[in-house]
Amino acid sequence: MCRKFSRNYDFHVSSDKYIENLPKGMKFAHLNIYGLSNKLDQIKILLRKRTFDVLALTESKLDSSTDPPDISIHGYSAYRRDRNKHGGGVIVYVKDSLTVVDESSSIVDGMEVLVLKINQTNSSSIRCVSVYRPPSEKVDWFPQFDQIIENVSAPDQPLIVMGDFNIDELKNKRLKTQMNVYSLHQNITSPTRETTTSETLIDHIYTSDSFSCREAGVIPLGISDHHLVYAVRKVNFAHTNSDHINIKYRNFKKINVDEFKAHMAQVPWSVIEVFDSIDDSWDSFKELFYGVVDKQIPITEKRVSAKSEQWINDDVLSEMHTRDYLHEQARKSKLDTDWDLYKAARNRVVTKIKQTKRDYLDEAMLQCSKNSKDMWKKIKEFLPSSKACNAPYLNVNGENVTETIDIANAFNDYFCNIGVEIGRKFDSSLPNVQFGIKVEQKFNIPLVNSEFVKKTNIRIT
């Protein structure tokens, strides 16, 4: 049975600590961000320790003019379904370590829904459905959404559906009843949006029995007027959310160049010429080459801190902590004065982040003024990442292929057979092209001597 509760804040404990103390497992979360562009830095801070494996944000307010690098977050791939910059939209950030297939192509236009299939080693794949339903959505939204859930539901297939449905489950059980038909259970029981006059549960998380939900709940954050909702899936394999990663590399600092050259000189390179196939020759070269490299410069592994925003400091985190505390106080008291204090603190966070980034860059430019290489390293920290928006896959005969070797083989088969396939489309009864056309003048290149070149050069100069 999934444990369900809301986490109550203490002034002395930041939201970071509550999130870090979530139980072990695969962590999914949703937050109505109400405009991602001006809150991207705050989301980066939220994800800087890689706590959540999947974070869905609704009301992203993006459109096609927003390039993927402009909203990229290190360590995560982004999947989007935009409406426009005035409202709506869904974006989902998934850890790079997870293999994802976007299955949203068949969803009808107008439905702000993303369907992602997340593949894991040593575990069954999970389908994650992220939803934004506008409050003014028409009645026909329900049958269309029902069709989506029917398509993604399968026996023993772990499924999680989360998002802002704009349906207050404290008063309206229609959606819950509809989801129960597919054995999907609502895990959120506390209000997810609170004002001075109302408390509503409009952000939902539904999971199947096979999802094996370990814990679900609500965490109030000051980033948005909605609370973050989350669910933790119990997993039977090693799964860490550490802010450290292991990297493999070759350490060239201790290489003995003379010894490396001597070993390379002793390699029987002539063996490569024995093979008739270029592929066999290439494989032979790699085997000989890496035989020396692996001995002289072996691959080593070390644990390093995951990359995060270097400008983040204690002052920024303290300001965000204060904002979250005032948000919690306003929720409890329902007083307009407390809500005003919270809104002022929320604005101070935005101002503090901008000022801190500016000061960090100014200081970096001053320190690196005589070293252009280091200067560009600092500047690149603030430039959008050129990383692709999401992970690659290829649809082959109606099936999504994610393994790189399978993708390569699919491309190879396609281009090897394209000539034959095109040839089959031509009508064999077409008349042959007649080449017996009389040509009056033949093309020829005149002889050129040194005198001609000399005269031509004089004319040019």
| Contact of 102 with 390, CB cutoff 8 Å | yes
Same domain, 222 and 294: no
- H helices then E strands: how many in the chain? 11, 19
The DSSP secondary structure of 279-317, one letter per residue, reads: HHHHHHHHHHHHHHHHHHS-EEEEEEEPP--TT--HHHH
Question: What's the domain range around 64?
Answer: 3-233
Two tokens, residue 262: 């001597």
* pLDDT for the residue numbered 354: 92
* pLDDT for the residue numbered 449: 82
Same domain, 32 and 157: yes
Same domain, 292 and 358: no
Burial of 353 (0-12, 13-18, 19+ CB in 10 A): buried
The answer to the question of residue 300 being in a domain is: yes
Residue 457's pLDDT band (cuts 50, 70, 90): confident
Same domain, 349 and 293: no
The answer to the question of residue 419 being in a domain is: no
The answer to the question of residue 447 being in a domain is: no
Mean pLDDT of 227-243: 77
| Contact of 159 with 190, CB cutoff 8 Å | no
Same domain, 265 and 322: no
Cα–Cα distance, 164 to 174 (Å, whole number): 15
Q: Which residue has the higher pLDDT, 436 or 7?
A: 436
Q: Which residue has the higher pLDDT, 386 or 366?
A: 366
Domain boundary residue among 282, 305, 328? Answer: 305
**pLDDT tens, residue by residue, 82-93:** 998 888 999 999
Mean pLDDT of 311-330: 90
Nearest 5°: the CA angle 115, 204, 94 is: 40
For 427, residues 6+ apart whose C-beta sits below 8 A from its C-beta are none
Q: For residue 286, is pLDDT > 50?
A: yes
Q: For residue 443, is pLDDT > 70?
A: yes
Same domain, 171 and 279: no
Same domain, 294 and 320: no
> Which residue, among 386, 392, 416, 389, has the nearest Cα to 404 in the 3D structure?
392
Reported as half-sphere exposure (CB side, CA atoms, 13 A), residue 381 has a value of 17
* pLDDT for the residue numbered 300: 86
Q: Which residue has the higher pLDDT, 137 or 75?
A: 75
DSSP 331: H
Same domain, 226 and 123: yes
Cα–Cα distance, 394 to 407 (Å, whole number): 6
Q: For residue 335, is pLDDT > 70?
A: yes
The answer to the question of residue 59 being in a domain is: yes
Q: For residue 308, is pLDDT > 70?
A: no
Handedness of CA 273, 276, 281, 283 (dihedral sign): negative
Residue type at 196 in one-letter notation: T
Give the Å distances, CA to CA, from 410 to 164, 396, 400.
39, 7, 11
Average pLDDT, the chain: 85
How many domains are there within the chain? Answer: 3
Same domain, 167 and 269: no
Two tokens, residue 91: 């974006």
Residue type at 239 in one-letter notation: H
**pLDDT tens, residue by residue, 140-164:** 899 999 999 999 998 888 999 999 9
Mean pLDDT of 347-363: 91
Domain boundary residue among 171, 202, 233? Answer: 233
The answer to the question of residue 456 being in a domain is: no
Q: For residue 18, is pLDDT > 80?
A: no
Same domain, 26 and 59: yes
**pLDDT tens, residue by residue, 259-280:** 999 999 999 999 888 888 888 8
Share of the chain above pLDDT 70, in %: 87
Mean pLDDT of 425-454: 71
Same domain, 121 and 87: yes
Q: For residue 11, is pLDDT > 60?
A: no
Same domain, 151 and 293: no
**pLDDT tens, residue by residue, 165-222:** 999 999 988 899 999 999 999 999 999 999 889 999 999 999 999 899 999 999 998 9
Q: For residue 362, is pLDDT > 90?
A: no
Q: What is the CATH number of the domain that holds 82?
A: 3.60.10.10
The answer to the question of residue 85 being in a domain is: yes
* pLDDT for the residue numbered 15: 66
Domain boundary residue among 233, 253, 285? Answer: 233
* pLDDT for the residue numbered 9: 45
Q: For residue 1, is pLDDT > 70?
A: no
Q: For residue 400, is pLDDT > 90?
A: no
The answer to the question of residue 210 being in a domain is: yes
Handedness of CA 169, 170, 171, 174 (dihedral sign): positive
**pLDDT tens, residue by residue, 50-74:** 789 999 999 999 998 888 888 999 8
The answer to the question of residue 449 being in a domain is: no
Residue 371's pLDDT band (cuts 50, 70, 90): confident
* pLDDT for the residue numbered 136: 85
Q: For residue 310, is pLDDT > 90?
A: no
